[in-house]
Every structure is written in structure tokens, then in C-alpha cells.
């Protein structure tokens, strides 16, 4: 699906080049400024302001791979990133968790562990989303260590994590090296992280420390401006897309300056601000257009694309949550978004991980997988013999053709209920949330940890113990 | 959006031709059998079975117009049917109504009047859907008379109605002639109806009476097989699509036999049966594929297309209702369905009209309208001056560019709530249904009847009074 004409793509490209050349971007990191200066860009060290020539930017991004393999601890879960492949990732970066039995509360390490387990249980969640929720019961200086430890032990899928500054990111890399016996680049990267932009047009030091450290290690950077049109960019979607494009390309270019060929994704997270409340409007029609625009621009530059699915402004897993999520999922998948973050569990503008919504979203991911399989048309599936056998009138419930196929012919629903009103009423009239509740509980009950080498586990534990002592009392989130 | 390759379209076409030629269709109506016999088709009068040669079918459907104007009482509401135009129609044919304050109940004339008023109030509902719910407090013999009377007096939009048999359909035509001063064909038809197929491969007498009567009067027939794959057709979607295609083409061909050039739509309403419950699976991924297939086949024959939006199996307007509805709306609109019936209010497998869901669906129709407007890309919307003015850091809330546009730049939500958790909680934590409830109540309060000529009104009342006396005690729904 495309929403921009070729001419419009070029117009947005041209506008972005003008932004990079004439307006420029602020980079709040000395090493980033050094790198740009060495590359010959015009740099104002005092204002930390850099103007990038289009020739330099295009030359740099041409080095980025258009596809790569993102390796998982279990090679069965390796992911191909690029082309038409779509990978689904659970919601991440939430402050709270919410479920029907325990209510809404600030997230803890135990909640985070549950989110990892849910992701591990679902074959439709292709990546272990690290940091599903904050570990607010763990001291700040140790949160990243516990976060990594839980992820490496509870899931064997490909993982992404938070790469906030050099200290945290170095710990992340040290730990993942233990998991992969030191080899984190041969055959593809093994970990990645999102680098957001402080839109408009600012990369902060914490993000740049992470970007530079990850790119240098050959790991995945998902450069993602987060833009609310009307707040962090002009209110018109064309301007927002042009600014986002300039911001994304600048970050992608920096990864290639650090390490040519480093795996990187062109990320986009653009929607409109609700001009009445000032808050974000997730799942809006403008967001649907923005999703398609982001994917189209990424493809124009032959870069793999990171987008979003199943985001909503709704505070509960109700009708609004569902329609806003599908309004995100459809354009994202139809535009061939390669890594679809926040594909399950996102609620409340991204503040809260909803267990019930996780199940509801997974249902929609399953439906999307079935939809993408399309229709098989051949002599067997056209079944003219069977149509002739039943003839006019009659029904097909009992034919040999039906009996041989009825169990697998159609998508088998997860939380969707096809019972009629009477049967549903007799079952207590459960709404979608209530049905979802019992499903995630069952998943947690059925969860089994994937095997992990005892030596690796010990090495990870030792590392976490040592670094926890060293980092005690440091305020890592203040520190780039 | 297309889901079938050109080759697959041809495969389905070929299979359909084989069905029409070798398997045949049963037509439970003597006049229909006469028409086919006169046209040279092979007819078994005893079995009422007809085999149609592909040459005859293709010759007949070539006479059908690929587009036409469907006139409304108020010419401002005239609809262009065909091409890429999409018209939204509210849910129709329900048994019950349901709303949060009055609960679920069997529909009455008063409920039906409210549904008509809601449709009249929404500019996103392009057509007055007649028969939103049955008039179960009116004697059977008079229901169609009261139904038409309410529609012609409460809405001035284009209308469609039930065309069950010759008696009812003749009354419908007589009444609409009173509304249009006798001229119901010049400049385009003024009324239409759906003709369903008793799938597999049977047209019953009631439907054929309606089809023949409407086509003869030059009014719109929306030929619509309703097929549940696995029940009324083989379980495989390719077979279901081929059977549906054969059924639809046969009905379209008959309209052209009755009156060459009669306005007709290629309708499709195909989904899978849930093979566990035996019930229909609305909003399933198979249905999404089927919707796109139906639209693609209609386009292959250059026929306007009738499809569906916002259908669901859910018994309440919860998350499932919302995602199933959007799973219907997106493929229907992206496939350029021309008349999208059941676009608002459908609940519970089509048994119940939900007032709250009507509002929620209208929100999604509005979002779709905005989405279809796409992105405007020009110097003004790219707003490079404004991006330069704000520069890196800062925000765009107060710029001249934003202030000039913030009220109209983005889609203004109807029932969607963008308030944060705290504000929402303080407002009583209303879910989407509760917010929708107050919206439709307001709409009913704000409703004003469109003007109707006093003479026309009197003529309609007289007709209904006379025919009510004549039809008293007849069982019209038994009578073809």
C-alpha cells in the first residue's frame, strides 16, 4: 500500500534535504560533533549545531544494509529484517501494568518477567521486547542489569533493549557477549535498541551515546523520531513527514559514519497531536497515513523500516482501543513495515502495558498472518466436484471435502467469540477483556523457561552482581 | 487493494462458468423459468433447474451499466454508484435493537424510526437504510407499508428497501412514484433492494418476484449471495468465491434479461463458518480476503459492487465488535466497494442493531473519509519556514502556521477519547460505549424532519390506509 505518489516522495525528500542543509540539527554529544566535523560537515561547536550536505548524507546511508539477519539465542527464532518480512514485537517502555484481576499499578521486575513470558509463549511475537515495563522496584543504577538478566534467561527470541548512554549500553553489550560466547557480529547482530530524537531536530547525549556504542559494536540501531504533528513539528502531515525524514536520515547517517555497514532501521513514529487536549492521537487516520508514508520513505532509501502496531490512546481495552489498534496494524503491515514494535499490549498512550490488550492484539496479529497467506486457487480448492455433489440446495457441512479440511481450513480464533447471544449470556456474557483475562493466565501457567547453559547463566549472574556493586548510587538515567 | 492475481481471477471466472453450465441453478419462480427458456437456456421445468451457457451470461451482463446515479428525494443526496465511489449505508434487516439505557429488545416501528433519524443526522451515512430493524409491533401484512412511509417522511436520502415478492415490491414502487411525482427512471433509479441467493445455487420465489419487479421498473437490484464457506459452499475460500461469483452473475444476468440496462450491483457477502460453533465468523481474516475477492471479481466484469462494512459476531459493542468491524471496513474500502451496506450499527451476527455501535462505526467511517483524502504535499504544507522558525528544540503549538490550521488540520474525533488516565478517571472512566450512548441521544434530540410536500405526504398516507385495509389478514412473507 502506498499513499504518496512518486512525485510526493521526491517533494518530501527535497524538503528533508533542505532541512538538513539549511536548518540543521543539534547533537548534544561531543563525540557525535567530532564525527561530523571529521566528515567535513559544517559544525557550530558552541551551539552543537550541524548542517549536513545532502551529498554526505546520501553517501553515508548508501552504506547501510537493506536487509540482515537478527540472530536470536535460539537460531529457530532468528529474524530476517528487510524486504517484505514483517516481525511483530510486544509493547515496550511502559510505566504501568494493568490487568483485570490486579488492577493498574506501577511496573516491577516481576511484572516485567511476566511480560517476557507472555512474549515467549506466543509464536506471533517474534522478538523478546526488553523493557515491556519499567523495573520500578529495582534501584535505578541496576535496572538495566536486571532487565537484561531477565530477558536472557526467560526468552530465547531475538531481543532489543534500551540503549541509554554509553555506560548502560556497554553493560548490555558485555552481557550479550556472554550469551553468545563473545561473537556478536558474525552471521548478523544479536541485539538492538531504539534511538529516539528529541523532535524537533535534537539528538540528546543519552541517545547518541547509545547510538554510537551500538553502531560501533555492529549491533542494530532503530533510529526513530517520535513526532506529534502540531507539537513537535508543524501541524500539516507533509511537514511532519519531511521533518521526520530529515531526523531519521541524520541518525542513520551517523551510524554509518561510526561503522560503515552497521545494521540500522529507518524508524518512524508519527501521529497528530489532538489539538483539543494537546495529547497524542494514536490510531488516528493521520497516523495511518503517516505509517504508510514512513514505510514508503524508508523503501525509497532502501532501508529496513521500523514502525508500530496496535497503539491507542484508550485507557482500557475497549472498543476504542481495538479500533485504534487495527487502524495502526493494517497500514503498518500493508506497507511492509519490517519491525513492528508495540504490536501487542500497548494501552493508554503507551504509559501502561495491558495484559488483556496483549491477548486481543495477538488475536489481530494472528488474523493478519492468515490474511497475508492470501487465497490458494487450484483444482482442489475450487472443489467443483464438491459443489456438483451438493448441487442446488443442501449444505456442505458433511461433505468429504469439508470433513477433510474443516479443522485447518480457517483461522482458529483465540479470544474472538462466535457464540450466539443465548449461549454467550448463559456463559456469563463475558466481554472480550474478560475472555482475554483467562487466556493470558493460562499462558503464564503453561510457560516453561527455554534452556540456558549453566555456565552462561553463572557468568551473567556474576556480571550483574559485580556491576550492581560498582554502579550502586550512580544515577545512570542522568548520565550520558 | 487486490488479493488475487490476474490468473487467479481467471481461474475463479472459469470455475464459475463451469458451475453455471454443468451444475446449474434452481429458480423457484415460473416467470424466471419462462424468461430463461425464452432466452434459449437449457431448462428442466420439473426440477426448476437451469443451465446457463457462458456466452449467454456474458452477453447479458455486458448490458448492465458500470455506473449510474441513484437519486434521492433531496438531490443533494444523490449518489454516484460505480468507479471508485464508496457509499456508506447503515445496518439493516435486524430483529432486535440494543442500547445501554433501554437494553436489548425486539424492534418496533418506533425503534425503526429512531434508526432512520440517526442515519439522517449523519453525513457519513449516505443512504437511508430501510428496515434497520423489523417493525414487530405492526401486523405482518402492513409492515412494508409502514416501513416505506416512515422512510419517505423521516429521511430525504437515497433509499433501499426490502423487495420480498411481487406484492410488496409493487407497493414499494407505487409509493416511491408518489414521492417522485411518477418519474422514477429519468436521471437514474430512485430505490433499490437486495436480492439474496439461497446458497448453494437456489433463487427462491420471493427473491425472484422482487428481482423481476424491480428490474422491470428500472430500479436497483443488489444481487447478493450470502455464503458461509463450509456451510453453504465448500470450506475452501476459492470454491466459495467461485460459487458466489456464479450465483451473483446469474442474478445480474436475469435483471438484464428482464430489462437490458437495468441498474444492478454485483453483491458479495462471503465469510467462513466457524467450524466449532457452526455459526458465521464475521470480521475474520477469511472474510477480509473474501471482501477483496468479491470487489475484484465485480471489477473484472465492470459491474458496480455491493459489499459490507462493520459486521461482527460480537454480542456487545466491545473490543471484538470494534476489531471485527475495522477488519471489514478496511478491505471493503481499500477494494473500492461502491455500496457498503451494514456500515454502522450491526451487532450480534446481524440480529441486533446496536445504537452505541452505530456511533462507534460512524467514527470509523469518518476516519476512513479522512484517510482517503490522503496527504497534501506542497510548499505551504511542507512548511519549511515554520520548521526553520522553531529550529532545533522548542515546539510548534504557538506558531502562526499551527494557529492558522489547528482547528481543521486533523480529523476531529466523535467518540474517541484522547484524555489521559487521570482526567478520564475523574470523568467517571467512561468506556467507548458509554460515550457513544450520550452521542446518539444528542443526535435524536437534534433531529429535524426534512421537509416533505403536504400533498405527497397525504397521498402516501392515503395509499397506506387503503392498502392496509386490502392486505389485512394476508401473510405477505409467505407469499411470493
Rounded CA-CA distance A25/A18 in Å is: 12
Helix axes A285-300, B355-373, angle to 10 degrees: 40
Backbone φ/ψ region at B195: left (φ over 0), alpha (ψ -120 to 50), beta: beta
Q: What is the DSSP letter of A94?
A: B
3-state secondary structure of A61: helix
Mean of the per-residue pLDDT values of chain B: 96
Cβ pair B230, B270 in contact under 8 A? no
Burial A316-327 (b: 16+ CB within 10 A, else e): bbbbbbbbbbbb
Task: Mark yes or no for CB contact A23/B384 under 8 Å.
Answer: yes
Chain A 229-248, residues with CB within 8 Å of chain B CB atoms: 229-239, 241-243
**With an 8 Å Cβ cutoff, are A323 and B363 in contact?**
yes
- What pLDDT is stored for residue B477 in this prediction? 62
Report d(CA A233, CA A202) in Å as an integer: 12
Q: How confident is the model at residue B45 (pLDDT cuts 50, 70, 90)?
A: very high
Give the pLDDT score at B357. Answer: 98
Instruction: Answer whether A280's CB lies under 8 Å from A300's CB.
Output: no
Q: Say if CB A234 and CB A282 are below 8 A apart.
A: no
How far away is chain B from the Cα of A39, in angstroms, using its nearest Cα? 21
Q: Is the pLDDT of residue B255 over 90?
A: yes
Q: Could you say which of B374, B380, B418 has the minimum Cβ distance to residue A281? A: B418
The string of pLDDT tens digits covering residues B383-430 is 999 999 999 999 999 999 999 998 889 999 999 999 999 999 999 999
Which CATH architecture fits B63-373? Answer: Alpha-Beta Barrel (3.20)
Interface of A with B in 422-441 (CB under 8 A): 424-425, 429, 431-433
DSSP state of A64: S
Name the residue ranges covered by the structural domains of chain A: 6-60, 66-373, 380-412
Q: Which of the four CATH numbers 3.40.50.2300, 3.40.50.720, 3.20.20.480, 3.90.79.10 does domain A66-373 have? A: 3.20.20.480
Tell me if A134 sits within 8 A of A352, measured CB to CB. no
Is the preceding omega at residue B200 within 30 degrees of 0, hence cis? yes
Phi first, then psi, for residue A81 (nearest 5°) are: -110, 120
Query: Any chain B CB within 8 A of the CB of A28?
Result: no
Which residue from B minimizes the CA distance to A396?
B231
Show which of residues 254-273 on chain B sit within 8 Å of chain A, judged by CB atoms: 272
Top-confidence residue, B318 or A477: B318
Per-residue confidence (pLDDT) for residue A196, from 0 to 100: 96
Apex CA A75: angle with CA A177 and CA A118, to 5°?
90
| Of B212, B242, B244, the residue nearest B226 (C-alpha) | B244
C-alpha cell read off for B211: 428481482
Q: What is the mean pLDDT of residues B331-358?
A: 96
d(CA A431, CA A434): 5
- Interstrand relation of B158-161 and B127-129 (parallel, antiparallel or unpaired): parallel
Q: What angle do CA B64, B70, B75 make, to 5 degrees?
A: 155
| Contact call for A411 and B293, based on CB within 8 A | no
DSSP string, B39-99: TT-EEETTTTEEE--HHHHHHHHTTS-SEEEE--SSGGG-EEEETT--EEB---SBSEEEE
> For A385-436, what is each residue's pLDDT tens digit?
999 999 999 999 999 999 999 888 999 999 999 999 999 999 999 999 999 9
Beta carbons of B432 and A319 less than 8 angstroms apart: yes
Q: Which phi and psi (to 5°) does residue B77 adopt?
A: -100, 10
pLDDT of residue A457: 97
Angle value at C-alpha B348, between B296 and B366, nearest 5 degrees = 55
- Whole-angstrom Cα distance, residue B221 to residue A10? 46
- Among A274, A293, A387, the residue with its CB nearest the CB of B375 is A293
Are A210 and A195 in contact by the 8 Å Cβ rule? The answer is yes
The SS3 of residue A27 is: strand
Contacts of A383 in chain B (CB under 8 A): 234, 236, 238-239
What residue ranges in B148-301 does DSSP mark as E strands? Answer: 158-161, 191-197, 202-203, 220-229, 264-267, 269-273, 280-281
Distance (Å) from the alpha carbon of B19 to chain A's nearest alpha carbon? 7
What does the pLDDT look like over B85-121, one tens digit per residue? 999 999 999 999 999 999 999 999 999 999 999 999 9
The Cα–Cα gap between A268 and A227 comes to 8
d(CA A443, CA A47): 52
What is the DSSP annotation of B234-259? -SSHHHHHHHHHHHHHHHHHHHHHHS
Q: Taking chain A (480 residues) in consecutive chunks of 10 residues, what is each chunk's mean pLDDT?
A: 96 98 98 98 98 98 98 97 96 96 97 97 89 92 95 95 95 98 96 97 97 98 96 97 98 98 98 88 97 98 96 96 98 96 96 98 98 97 97 94 92 95 96 98 98 97 97 68
Amino acid at each position: 500500500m502506498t499513499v504518496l505518489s512518486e512525485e510526493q516522495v521526491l517533494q518530501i525528500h527535497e524538503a528533508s534535504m533542505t532541512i538538513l542543509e539549511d536548518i540543521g540539527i543539534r547533537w548534544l554529544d561531543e563525540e557525535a560533533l567530532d564525527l561530523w566535523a571529521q566528515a567535513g560537515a559544517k559544525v557550530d561547536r558552541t551551539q552543537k549545531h550541524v548542517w549536513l550536505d545532502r551529498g554526505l548524507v546520501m553517501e553515508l546511508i548508501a552504506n547501510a544494509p537493506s536487509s540482515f539477519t537478527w540472530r536470536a539465542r535460539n537460531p529457530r527464532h532468528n529474524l530476517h529484517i528487510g524486504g517484505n518480512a514483517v516481525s511483530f514485537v510486544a509493547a515496550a517502555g511502559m510505566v504501568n501494568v494493568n490487568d483485570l484481576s490486579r488492577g493498574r499499578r506501577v511496573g516491577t521486575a516481576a511484572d516485567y518477567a511476566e511480560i517476557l513470558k507472555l512474549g515467549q509463549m506466543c509464536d506471533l511475537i517474534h522478538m523478546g521486547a526488553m523493557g515491556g515495563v519499567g523495573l520500578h522496584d529495582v534501584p535505578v543504577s541496576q535496572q538495566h542489569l536486571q532487565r537484561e538478566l531477565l530477558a536472557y534467561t526467560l526468552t530465547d527470541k531475538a531481543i532489543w533493549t534500551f540503549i541509554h548512554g554509553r555506560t548502560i549500553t556497554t553493560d548490555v553489550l558485555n552481557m550479550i557477549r556472554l550469551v553468545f560466547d563473545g561473537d556478536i557480529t558474525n552471521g548478523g547482530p544479536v541485539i538492538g535498541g531504539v534511538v529516539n530524537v528529541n523532535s524537533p531536530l535534537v539528538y540528546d547525549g543519552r541517545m547518541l551515546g547509545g547510538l554510537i556504542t551500538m553502531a560501533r559494536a555492529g549491533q542494530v540501531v532503530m533510529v526513530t523520531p517520535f513526532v506529534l504533528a502540531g507539537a513537535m513539528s508543524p501541524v500539516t502531515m507533509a511537514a511532519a513527514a519531511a521533518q521526520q525524514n530529515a531526523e531519521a536520515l541524520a541518525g542513520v547517517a551517523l551510524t554509518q559514519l561510526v561503522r560503515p555497514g552497521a545494521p540500522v532501521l529507518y524508524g518512524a513514529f508519527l501521529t497528530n497531536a489532538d489539538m483539543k487536549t494537546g495529547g497524542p492521537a494514536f490510531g488516528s487516520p493521520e497516523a495511518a497515513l503517516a505509517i504508510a508514508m514512513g514505510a514508503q520513505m524508508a523503501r525509497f532509501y532502501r532501508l529496513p523500516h521500523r514502525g508500530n502496531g496496535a497503539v491507542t490512546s484508550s485507557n482500557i481495552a475497549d472498543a476504542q482501543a481495538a479500533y485504534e489498534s487495527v487502524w495502526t496494524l493494517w497500514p503498518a503491515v500493508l506497507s511492509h513495515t519490517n519491525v513492528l514494535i508495540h504490536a501487542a499490549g500497548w494501552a493508554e498512550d503507551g504509559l501502561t502495558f495491558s495484559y488483556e490488550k496483549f491477548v486481543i492484539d495477538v488475536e489481530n496479529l494472528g488474523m493478519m498472518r492468515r490474511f497475508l497467506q492470501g487465497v490458494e486457487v487450484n483444482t482442489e480448492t475450487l472443489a467443483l466436484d464438491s459443489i456438483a455433489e451438493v448441487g442446488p440446495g443442501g449444505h456442505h457441512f458433511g461433505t468429504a471435502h469439508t470433513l477433510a479440511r474443516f479443522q485447518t481450513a480457517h483461522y482458529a480464533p483465540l479470544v474472538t467469540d462466535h457464540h450466539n447471544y443465548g449461549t454467550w449470556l448463559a456463559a456469563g456474557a463475558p466481554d472480550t477483556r474478560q475472555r482475554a483475562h483467562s487466556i493470558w493466565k493460562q499462558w503464564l501457567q503453561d510457560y516453561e523457561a527455554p534452556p540456558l547453559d549453566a555456565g552462561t547463566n553463572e557468568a551473567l549472574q556474576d556480571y550483574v552482581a559485580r556491576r550492581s556493586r560498582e554502579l550502586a548510587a550512580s544515577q545512570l538515567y542522568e548520565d550520558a
